[in-house]
Structure 1
């Protein structure tokens, strides 16, 4: 039996990408992140080294994993680039005397490429937000050589010095200067079995003699073709709703396996598929309570059963439920939540400014109730500030951490901090494990097993 491909995870966060790669058959042996809460969550969920450092102060040859250059199969990661995000750009531009272009975190991807340059993996994958595709930058003399070794005879990286060019072109020039065939692909997580519309860009690089995988070929889900296909899937196996111990569904039983050119695929997983089995909670703390620590219903959909990850020979009512508590809401928020229909968002200009919680020169629409018959809207780290964009479809409140995690495809036994603020941020910033798995399978089957 062949050994599994070996990977490392840079800017690992809470470990969503790592979990996806593990599900895809990789051995992830090392990770790095500077966020203390992310490192704690990562360590709780993964049994290998994670370096709690700012990557800018590290050297791959001394601080990285004990692996020789050329022996690593994959480097994965998602360097934060706040100005590439619409919310990130608005927030930075609103700060006095500071614009998004001045934020040094925009250059963190070069530190990702430093590790690529040193370890020379067979492939790499770098995740980022679609806003990056709209950004431009002035190419400065020598800027590429600041961090990366570049062949002096190769003028491609410096050919547009002084010109304003698309940021993706600059990044691809730098990747190709390291000897990789590289390009970017834009995908929606809902196409891969995540119950959430979440568009992301993946830069993938492979050695020049390898062919880049086409991520679209590995999609498992699609738009529903009828109202019937939007209904929550209900478990139908014998004894599905009995109290007797039973083995949890495997991933393959709950979700279709990743196969190239699947046709026609399954209808999108929805908010109902993901969260409507969880017990009700409320901000007032009476009935329902503020927090629920146990399940009151069995899992209704196959996806819910897979998410619960009940240990073998246990019943669902014996399992502890974590991170399912309701944040406090004032009466104005609760009243507005009740007014909204499923999937409705109020936009600036449509209602009085008195009903808007945000500045109208920074944010555009910010009250949104999730539609149970569709995938959720994109779960963002901003959920740590308030939940106006993430209102529960049937209860007058915002989503709990556990509900947000499920919409990101984290299973219920995946450890997250008890602090809601920290947990919301980690969940909102994470690569959905199911999406990470799709990317990992595409690279493993399309590149690593073909050479």
Structure 2
């Protein structure tokens, strides 16, 4: 049985592709971003509404999907996450969170949920939505669900959990918060993890993490596309960093040259994939030295980024690589969405056939090649060698001190 989904904040379709793999059809998708909508139209025949959800009525969404109130099987969506993002927190010392006008996306998701009354809902967001002591975003949604139930007579349940995509077979370490509820009041039970780091997996009776090599091993490695070449002042330093390392290799505590202070840069500065490990989180808008980079000392292609996000093969991406990375980096890994969609089918619709393994998890490759050789540090960087102070700790760095001095 093919089920119907309403998709809000659809982006390039990460959630939708996962639900598609679990037998759901996107009856209608909606997004404000023109490039995302263009990509959806290129890759699927779903009805796509391009526009600001706050200016689009729920009746218009239902009409576009050919649905009546209560007829959709699920509402899915990941409201834009900037007010709750960790990167926003580190950039400013705190985040405005619900005081940020961009948090209105949560209100709009709840408005459409109340108006359309699907059998289930799934809301995805960044981990910061549920930080300890900073969980007002989750509580706002919880109160919203309670108001919907009081206003409509529905009995939507409310279950929330943070999941790491790598623990469910995605070849990428990526943590997200999911809120799931059923209209009839039944409680969704989140699936248990199926994968763990290799040194823990045997003892835990789990599969080991899928690796970057599992995802990318059949794709050409040494691409000569100029758009993939690293640029900027640090480009020639990247080959001197081993697979699976970052700038910390070139600190007094690393194995290279003492060019930087310990933890004085963001973790993803000069970060390089290791073939035998999952990728780190794909960034949507990376700077010129922001990884993860390919082990061949270049940026990742759109096809490679899609593989690490477990998108189905054969998608058409924007011609601009930076635009493709922005859309892909903002998406949900599709295999994780498929895992959750299968559980929703099994629990809500009692379809035991969906106990079978998800189809979007990459197959394990038999042999992983040895790490690439590491180059010497070019002489042009050796003037940086010397004694460097480690970062003094959270809230004590140079930027924090500058903010405090301005506030005084």
CA contact (8 A) 1:387 1:399 kept: no
Alignment of 1:52-451 (within 5 A): 52-64=50-62, 65-91=65-91, 93=92, 102-134=99-131, 166-179=136-149, 180-216=156-192, 219-225=193-199, 264-281=205-222, 289-290=224-225, 326-330=228-232, 332-346=233-247, 350=251, 363=266, 366-383=269-286, 385-386=287-288, 388-393=290-295, 395-449=296-350
For 1:277 and 1:407, the matched residues in 2 are separated by 13
1:192, 1:347 → 2: CA distance? 29
Partner of 2:328, secondary structure, is helix
The alignment of Structure 1 onto Structure 2 pairs a total of residues equal to 337
Shift, 1:212, TM fit: 1.3
Q: Which residue of 2 aligns with 1:5?
A: 3
Describe the superposition over 1:238-281 as per-residue Cα deviations: whole angstroms up to 9, x where unpaired: xxxxxxxxxxxxxxxxxxxxxxxxx9443211011111332234
Equivalent residues of 2:211, 2:276 under 8 A apart: yes
C-alpha distance in 2, partners of 1:14/1:328? Answer: 25
- Secondary structure in 1 aligned to 2:18? helix
Cα distance change of structure 1 residues 426 and 120 upon mapping to structure 2, 3 Å threshold: same
TM-score (norm 2): 0.75
TM-score relative to the length of structure 1: 0.68
Question: SS where residue 28 of structure 1 aligns?
Answer: strand
Q: CA deviation at 1:328?
A: 4.3
The answer to whether the 8 Å contact 2:242/2:272 transfers is yes
1:147 corresponds to = none
Q: By how many angstroms is 1:102 displaced?
A: 4.5
Residue 368 of structure 1: SS of its match in structure 2? coil
RMSD (Å) for aligned C-alpha atoms: 3.1
- 5+ residue gaps in structure 1? 138-164, 230-262, 283-288, 292-324
1:268–1:375 CA contact under 8 A, matched in 2: yes
Considering fraction of residues, name the structure with more helix: 2
SS in 1 for 2:340: helix
What is the CA-CA distance between 1:83 and the residue it aligns to? 2.2
* Structure 2 unmatched ranges of 5 or more: 150-155, 253-257, 353-408
